[in-house]
Amino acid sequence: MNVGKSAALETRGRRHTTQHHRSHRPWHFRTVVGVVFVVMAASSAPSPLYGLYQQQWHFGTATSTIIYACYALGAVLTLLLAGGLAEHLGTQRTIVVALATIVVSFLAFLLATGAWALCLARLIQGVAVGLLTSSAGSALADLHRDRSHRAAAASNSAATSTGIALGAVFSGLAVQFAPAPLVTPFVVLTVLSLGGLALVRAIPAWQIVPERLRPWRPRGLRMGAEPRGILLRVAPMVIAGWAVVGMYLALGVDLVAGLLHTSDRAMSSLVILVVQGCGGIAPMLLRRLGDRAASVTGCALLVAGVGVSVVGFDTAHALLFFSGAAITGAGFGLSFMGSTSTVTAAVIAGGHPQLLPGFFALAYLAVSVPVVALGAAASRFGVAAAFSGFGLLVALLAMVAGASAVRRGRPASQPGRAVAGHREQ
């Protein structure tokens, strides 16, 4: 009797353990990378469409900011209240739920009849992004052939940045050339999301989960002293990197429109492509960098890139401005890779599943607050003043984050090496 109870307890205790005996094929890993790309592309796709929505339903910039805030609210609240869902359902099921939710958001966009419906659609979209980001990092580490948290972090960072970049560009091109620009992006994204959902379901289960689940209810994010300490160590870098993204999302289109004297929104969105595109390329080119090296290099590039962009805009030098944006994007990508790898390693080695939801909740707060605050600051003080002032604040924070990474010496990702199964190159 006692033996039976012990066996049952042991089985229940390891129900979310990765199945090491099952070999995973490369397409399993690539499928989850592709899903991250599609969902992040979906998160940025509505932004270039706001101009058309404003013309159709006659609302202003303040309403557009509220619509974006609904997306951020959905993502942050999901990460804070439902971040533990992946621990309950398993990461595979959580990713499937995220994809189903994002498809519902596309339907809400297609059926929208006013600004309130856009708020609802963005809120649902934020929930989907929160569910995905709370589970994708661990899933990628589990599905990588070497279980390398560093390779998983590099792919996650690259897919996130390139997804945000190309989603906005695709919608911008739809505005210029598609016969139904408010329909085409969401139809394409729906097809891609449903395809991703089918592929994720086709992957052999990589976690042991029970067939019948216990009841679940949302709970606030709770972390012990150790995971809280890890999150606090990477917080300055996360805030600096994602605040830069928020700065370009809030002001980038207006900055380029003034610099190039154009009203073409697709052309004006080019700076977002440069920032996020370089943010996706840098981690893949420098994926062998250790966590500390990536963090320090990323922070240094953030400082240099923001400085060059501000000088380029102030001197009306477009090439200098875009060069700074490219450097800034590379800095964001490397700092995101370093911090994500550190956190993912701690999740794998120390069993702290709440770390990833907390990490991404911090990231979404860091990107969302600037979008809202800079919209108000630009209206009051002008785009140039808001860009220069906020750029200075972000550069100072990146300096602090870089100095902190240097002082730490070896980061908390040390245990992840044993898990990754290889030495840091």
Asked if 327 and 301 touch (Cβ cutoff 8 Å), the reply is yes
The pLDDT-based confidence of 298 (bands split at 50, 70, 90) is: very high
pTM, two decimals, is 0.79
Per-residue confidence (pLDDT) for residue 155, from 0 to 100: 86
Coil vs helix vs strand at 223: coil
State the pLDDT at residue 360: 87
In the chain, % of residues over pLDDT 90:
32
What pLDDT is attached to residue 147? 67
More confident residue, 271 or 409: 271
Rounded (5°) CA angle 163-164-168: 110
pLDDT at residue 88 is higher than 50: yes
Digit-coded pLDDT (tens) for 340-357: 888 888 877 766 777 888
285, pLDDT greater than 60: yes
Separation of alpha carbons 343 and 285, rounded Å: 21
What residue has token string 């959902």? 197
Integer CA distances (angstroms), 271 to 143, 149, 164, 166, in order: 34, 30, 12, 12
**Token pair of 241, please?**
């990197």
Taking the mean position of all CA atoms in its chain, how far away is CA 13?
31
User: Among candidates 235, 234, 225, which has minimal Cα distance to 342?
Assistant: 234
Altogether, the residues listed in the chain come to a count of 425
The mean pLDDT of the chain is 82
Model confidence at 287: pLDDT above 80: yes
Q: Evaluate if residue 85 carries a pLDDT over 80.
A: no
pLDDT digits (tens, 9 = 90+) for 9-66: 333 444 444 444 456 678 888 999 999 999 999 998 998 888 889 889 988 777 887 8
pLDDT at 122: 95
In three-state secondary structure terms, 45 is coil
- Is the domain defined by 27-206+223-417 classed in CATH 1.20.1250.20? yes
Q: What is the pLDDT of residues 103-133, one digit of tens each?
A: 999 999 999 999 999 999 999 999 999 999 8
> How far from each other are the two terminal CA atoms of the chain, in whole angstroms?
51
Least confident of 10-14, 44-48, 88-92, 227-231: 10-14
Beta carbons of 151 and 294 less than 8 angstroms apart: no
pLDDT for 19 equals 47
DSSP 8-state code for residue 213: P
Question: Residue 358: which residues within 8 A CB-CB, separation 6 or more?
Answer: 79, 83, 221, 223, 227, 231
Q: Regarding predicted confidence, which is higher, 176 or 208? A: 176
